Structure formats: structure tokens, C-alpha cells
Structure 1
């Protein structure tokens, strides 16, 4: 891509105009196309060809009819018109990144909907606005190679990482992996090429460890497990070098969460190490998260007493009054999330009478906007209903989970729901089950 200059590339002078910048920021591509034609003499037919759109679609947009909201199409327009990523709320595109940051990346896992078309990616970051997602990223000019980095840059990078983390609330790893990986690679290059004090260097390493965990989680979510492992391991080493015990413990917790399905003993051992490495002085939210992950490792291994003790420790950590600011990467860990993990653990332990009430109450408070996570959590509720013999209720919950998972670029909801659907298949003589199986093609 980097060696090709499309005939639809917008001139720099046009990109710098206030009306063009406003149209780009608002994702008003109809106006962008109109300005491209009137000011740069770029025909709609050329725009259609480069953007992989029908000419009539381009014409309709230019006349103010319709909008573009899918992640893939917006990225395609950015590349065709050579609109820098930051103007659209995207990571730097490959054609604009410095050569030092170029890296060949396989396309992330892609999830089609039942009709074979792309489902709108959660209305492209909820129109890239309301939740303060990508468009509202803090302004940031990355230093050039060899330049001196100020002590304020690590905190600015951490604020940027916090904003980018909000994408995971509404999108799957297939949409976010390259964004997160680009941030990680850019900071890694900065550490290699810039100059800074020892204290600033440690702070930058801590940011790098956090970015590696973001990228690793997205890789895990879209099925790139080797990439996830490599990023988690890199994060752990960098966090140790930075002296950041909390992030080092969290890197191990990620590794344990990934490992537990394949090697339960290793999952428990790594998860226990994560608690030890973070230490008793870690922030309450960090301790709660790590004990949750330890409880999960015990539950998957079928160890009920150990699971309950770890859940109690997580609850105690959440109840701990601590005036210190919590790391942004644990802000999602709250009482409701702990209840969901509790229900998941009891589901794994085949205790539906304990799992169902907890999951039902917690999921009733859980917003559908978090479609991937709610779909996953509903899969455990459906699993518990099946274990309890409530087949029709399990089918209803499974259908709801499948609807939520539609269009989310994550492999995990479907992986979780596949065994539930297989178990439901034993009851296909029931009308509700037959209807669900027919709908899903199972």
C-alpha cells in the first residue's frame, strides 16, 4: 500500500481547509466527496472505484443522502483519499507511518453476519462521539527520532491509552487489534530512538506494558492466540523492567486466562503468581481483578472451595477503602462485574442453583451496548439453565446471545455458544429448540 499513490489522493492544501477538516471530523463523506470534486477535480467515478463503492452510492452521499458508518468502509475511504488517520479517529495508516513503524500484519479475524455482509461496527464507535471514543483522543505529536522527550509525555500517552481502551466497550478485537498494536509499536520506536531521563524512561516502559496488554487482549479476542501470548509475555518483561508490579501481575493474569482452557494446572499456577507479583499493596481494583482471574482458574479446574475463597478475596479487595487513584485498566471491575464472574464460576462448577440467580440479576443491570461481553456472559446463563434442565429457557437466552454477537468482530461469543448449541441439539424435537437451530444453521 505504501508505494501506491491513488488518483483520488486529496491535495494537502484541501486537507488543511477548515471546511474539509470539519467534514472529515464529522464523518460527512458526502461533503468530503463534493469538495474533492469541486476543488480538486476528482470525479465521483474515480472516488467510487478507489473506495470500492458503487458510483450511484457516491452520488447519493454527495447529495446528502445516507451516511458511512462501518469501520472497514471508513478505513477504505481514508486510504483512497489519503486522509491521515488522526483526522478520522483512526490509528496512523500504513502509508503515513514512518518506515521504522511499518510491520506486516495479517488481517484480523473477520466476522460476517448471517447474510454474509458486514454488520455496522456498533455504528462505528457509536458515531465516534457520545462515549468520548477515538475522535476525542488527546492531541499528541510524537517526537522525532533523536529528539528529547519531556517528562509529561508518558502521562499524555497513558491518557490516550485510556481513551482507546473505551473502544473495547463496543467493539471486538477484529476491529481494535491494529489500532492497539500501532500504539504499542509507536511507543516502542520512541523508546528506541528518542532521548529522555531515567525516570521518564521508566514511565514510558510502564505505558508500553499497558499498550502491549491492550493489543494482546484484542489479539486474543479475534483468535490470534500466538500474537496474544507474545504481547502478554513482552508486557510482563517490560513491566518488570519499569518496576510496575501491578502491570506485571496483570500481564500474568492475562497469560493465565488464555492458558486455563488448555492446561488447567498451568493456568492456576500463573494466576497465583499474578497475585503474588502484584503484591498486597496493589490498588484494590487490581487485587480484585487478579483474585477474580484466580477464581476462574480454580473453577475451570473444578476446585469449588478454592474458587469460593478467591471470590471472597476479590470481594474484600473491592470493599477496601483506598484514596489512591485506581489504574484506568481496572475501572471496569466493579460489584456487578464480580457478580457476573461469580455466576460464571458456579456455572463451570455445575452449580446452576447458585449461578442462575446471580447471573440473571447482574445481567439485568448490564447494558446491551457492551454486546460482545453481554453475549459471552449470557452463554454461561444458558449453560446453567441447560444443566438445570430448563431447556426452553436456555434456548431463549442462547438466541439473545446470538443476536447480540451478530456483527461483533470477536471469535469468543461463537466459540462459547457452540457447545451450548450442541447440547441443545439433543432436544431438537421441542419447537423452540428446532426454531433456534434452524435459525443458526446448527
Structure 2
């Protein structure tokens, strides 16, 4: 094995990344292991790089050779698809009890582990994710019991803690998740410490759990935006339990909505649909605006599955709901982002997935016309989506121009998700690397990725 120390990336993009970081392996080390056991194969480091970065699946003999080195049984390799069988570190716990104690355990787990979890890939998928959503939908919160452990927490103290939420939301939305996640985690840690060590009434306890749930949701979203996907799952599982302990059904639905979007990004449309469906069904007290937001997340999942009829039916429901919302409604503060521009953006994205680019482009034009200039990260997202619509319309030069406009926006509000969107969109442009039309874009993109 190479003795040279492997550079530790900020983000482990694949389970194989986590294994290489833990064992100090280079890409060459990985292919050498396979070559020694399989024999008569080319030991080129590019093979391992493609497994890790391009989603290429190694053949069974290569997987078995790697499994032998990692002491993973052959039966597991043959029953779990690559890369699920790779032993890539501690699992993300999700099977906490739906009780106050269970919520406390989930919060403890997130505060202890999530901010340092650099795994940029999902750790909970398939039936486990769907089961979590179904459990949340079917369980009623128990009575919150005051626990006497320390000083008395007053309503005034809680209100002072809650006053920090708008500042954190603004920080995350304007400067990106990578810059905000540690500060949000620190605030969450403080609330968890208060919950563990203080005494409070049932009313105060409920507000503490509600505050913990919102901070956990925000920390999950910041981690998601920064590409720390396992950490995002840790935070969201904890936040879902905390929202349940606070009897905050709509807040729980908003967390499931975020988890649905993460599944959408990872091409897990069935899981995305199950999570979005539970969120929409379970938010029985939602205001019209909140219900419209949840409906559009459900529509996005239908669109990802190519279910045009179901998607357009839910879009129609969302349109009716959004038209009926009133500024005087008792909307939660976290819903402020869902304005008219975001409403049109979600519909436009549905039509993108349904391969109806003219409709998509029309909605995205409305989005960009209405979007606040302070929503820099969102503007970058909208511009990239409009570029995708132009590509579907065969307007490659216009798409290229739009992608170049997204670069300074991402530089201003860093977002790993927007970088990935931009890279994928560039790969779909019908221009070679030597084409002068994309030289400036490619130079900027290379600097941005680096």
C-alpha cells in the first residue's frame, strides 16, 4: 500500500470515499487490491475514480475482491446493490421512540454526530425512509411531562432564544449552508443542553422542543445545501422527533418535505413521493399557503416519476390553495420563503421534469421577474433551471448564456447543490470542451468546483 498520506476532502461524495479516507487509500491502492485478487486486469486508478465520481458500478468480480479486503461477506455483496454493502462508517440512526425521551435521544445524536459527518451521500433509503414517514403520519403525540433537572426556564427566556431564528434563516439563505451550518448547530446544541439540564413547565417544554425542531430542520437544510447529506438526515430525523414531542404537525410535515426533496435530488422518486404524500396528508391544520407548498412538493415527486396527470391535478390544487391565502393568515415564520416567485419556480420545475419546456420556461420567466434580489442563491437555482428549459427547447446558445449568469450568483451565495446543478447542465450542452462558445463558462466552472 502507498505510504503517502491521502488528502482528506471536506466532503465524502461516495461510500468508497469514506473507506479511502478511513484507510488512507489512494485510487491506485483500490485498483491494486482488485488486480491482485482478480488477476489479468488493468490496474488503472481511473477505474476507481469513475466508481466514486461517475456512478460507474464495478463488475461482480471486482466487488468481491474489494469485499474480501474489507472483510465483508460475499452474501452481503450479492444481496445489497453497490455501493450499499460498503462499510462506510456509523449508520444514521432513525429508530427512536416517538416519545419525549425518544426526541431527546434523537436530538443528542444529531448534536453529537451531525456537524462532523462529512458523508455526501444518503444513509437512509428505501423502506426505512418510507417507514419513517408512515410512522410519523400514524402516531399521535403523548402528553409532554415537565422534568425537573435544574433551573426554571421562563417564557421570557424562550422568547429571547426564539428571536435568533430570523437571523439564522437570513444567514443561511443569503450566504449558503456551508457558512451557516456550524452556527445553527451551536444554537441547537444550546437548546438541547437547556432541555437536558433545566426545569420547565409543560408549556415551556413544548416551546423548547418546537425551537429544537426548527433549528434541527435548519441545520439539516444547511447541511443539505452544503452537500453533507448524511448529516442532513441526522438533523432531520432529530427535528421530526422534536416536532412530534412539541405536537407541531405542520412543522413535522415541513421536515418530511425537505427529506422528500433530498430523495428527489438522489433520483429516489418513490421515496420522494412517499415522504411528500405523508407530509401533505398529515398537515391537517395547514394554512392555504402552507398546504400549497406541500402540494407542490407532492407534484414534484409525481413529475419525477413521469406521472403527468397526477402532477397536474396536484398543481391545480396548489393553485387554488395559493390563490386563497391571505396575508393575515397565521402562517409560520419559516414559510416566508414561499412567495409568488417560489410558487412559480416549483411549477416550472414540474414541467421541466415532464419534458414540457415551453410551459416550464414561461413559469421560470415569471419566477425571475418576481424574485427578490436578496434571494441570491434562489436566483442561481432559477437561472440554471431556465437554462435547462432552453436546452430542452434546443436553444443551446441561450442556455449557455444563462449558465454563465449563474456563476457570479453562486460565487456570492455558495451552494454545493447549485454547483452540481450547474455541472450537470454544462454536461448536457452540445458543445465540446474546445468550443470557444463555452471556454469562458468552463474556465469559471473549473475555478468554482476547485
Deviations 1:197-222 (A, max 9, x none): 11111111111111100111001010
Of residues 289, 306, 309, the one that matches 2:310 is: 306
Partner of 1:174: 178
Task: Indicate which of 238, 246, 255 corresponds to 1:242.
Answer: 246
Partner Cα distance (1:179, 1:167) in 2: 10
Aligned partner of 2:339 in structure 1 is: 334
Give the aligned partner of residue 131 of structure 2. none
- The correspondence for 2:234, drawn from 206, 215, 230, is 230
Q: Indicate how the Cα distance of structure 1 residues 104 and 415 shifts in structure 2: closer, same or farther if over 3 A, else same.
A: closer
Separation in structure 1 between the aligned mates of residue 222 and residue 336 of structure 2, nearest angstrom: 18
The question of 1:156 aligning with 2:138 is answered no
Residue segments in structure 2 that go unaligned for 5+ positions in a row: 1-110, 120-148
Provide closer, same or farther for how the CA distance between residues 299 and 235 of structure 1 changes in structure 2, counting only shifts above 3 A: same
User: In the alignment, what sits opposite 2:70?
Assistant: none
Corresponding position: 1:412 with 2:417: yes
- Please list every run of 5 or more consecutive structure 1 residues that lacks an aligned counterpart in the other structure: 1-100, 110-144
- Write the deviation string for residues 334-359 of structure 1: whole angstroms up to 9, x where unpaired: 22210111111111211111111221
**Would the aligned equivalents of 2:118 and 2:231 in 1 still touch at CA under 8 Å?**
no
Aligned to 2:50: none
Cα deviation, residue 406, structure 1: 1.6
Alpha-carbon distance, 1:426 to partner = 3.5
Looking at structure 2, the residues matched to 338 and 262 of structure 1 have their Cα atoms a distance apart, in angstroms, of: 22
Contact 2:153/2:198 (CA < 8 Å) preserved in 1? yes
2:392 is the counterpart of 1:383: no
CA distance in 1, matches of 2:378, 2:225: 11
Q: Distance in 1 between matches of 2:282 and 2:186?
A: 28
- What residue is the counterpart of 2:199 in the other structure? 195
Counterpart contact for 1:318–1:334, Cα < 8 Å: no
The farther-off stretch of 325-334 and 390-399 is: 325-334
Is it true that 1:210 corresponds to 2:214 in the alignment? Answer: yes
Q: Judging changes above 3 Å, is the alpha-carbon distance between structure 1 residues 372 and 245 closer, same or farther for their aligned structure 2 residues?
A: same
Distance (whole Å) between structure 2 residues aligned to residue 151 and residue 275 of structure 1: 32
Q: Does 1:282 align with 2:283?
A: no
C-alpha separation between the residues in 2 aligned to 1:155 and 1:327? 15
Distance 1:108 1:176 in 2: 15
CA 1:427–1:166 in structure 2 vs 1: closer, same or farther (change >3 Å)?
Answer: same
CA contact (8 A) 2:340 2:370 kept: no
Q: Distance in 2 between matches of 1:289 and 1:173?
A: 21
Aligned residues: 308
Aligned pairs for 1:48-63 (under 5 A) are: none
Distance 1:388 1:204, change over 3 A: same
**Tell me, what secondary structure is at the counterpart of 2:150?**
coil
Question: Following the alignment from structure 1 to structure 2, what is the Cα–Cα distance between the partners of residues 247 and 327?
Answer: 9
Q: Is structure 2 residue 277 aligned with structure 1 residue 272?
A: yes
Q: Where do 4+ consecutive residues of structure 1 move more than 4 Å?
A: 101-105, 427-431
Matched with 1:186 is: 190
Is 1:355–2:363 an aligned residue pair?
A: no
Q: Give the Cα separation in 1 of the matches to 2:113 and 2:438.
A: 47
Distance apart, 1:430 and its partner CA: 5.8
The answer (yes or no) to whether the contact 2:431–2:438 under 8 Å persists in 1 is no
Match of 2:406 in 1: 401
Over residues 278-313 of structure 1, what are the superposed CA-to-partner deviations in whole Å (9 max), with x where a residue is unaligned?
11x212222122112111111222222222222222
Per the TM alignment, residue 368 of structure 1 is displaced from its structure 2 partner at its CA by: 3.9
Deviates more, 1:288-297 or 1:378-387: 288-297
TM-score by length of 1: 0.65
C-alpha contact 2:386 2:402 (8 A) present in aligned 1: yes
C-alpha contact (below 8 Å) 1:146/1:193 kept by paired residues: yes
| Cα distance, 1:249–1:159 mapped onto 2, change above 3 Å | same
Shift of the 268–400 alpha-carbon distance from structure 1 to 2, 3 Å rule, reads same
The farther-off stretch of 287-296 and 418-427 is 418-427
Mapped partners of 2:270, 2:112: distance in 1: 39
How far did 1:318 drift? 1.9
Q: In 1, Cα distance between the equivalents of 2:114 and 2:435?
A: 50
Moved more, 248-257 or 358-367: 358-367
Q: How far 1:435 sits from its partner (Å)?
A: 4.1
Are the counterparts in 2 of residues 292 and 341 from structure 1 also a CA contact under 8 Å?
yes
> Residue deviations 1:249-299, cap 9 Å, x none?
1111111111123321011011000011111x2122221221121111112
TM-score, reference length from structure 2: 0.64
By how many angstroms is 1:321 displaced?
A: 4.3
CA distance in 2, matches of 1:314, 1:425: 36
Distance in 2 separating the partners of 1:215 and 1:105? 9
User: What is the rounded CA distance, in whole Å, between the counterparts of 1:381 and 1:245 in structure 2?
Assistant: 34
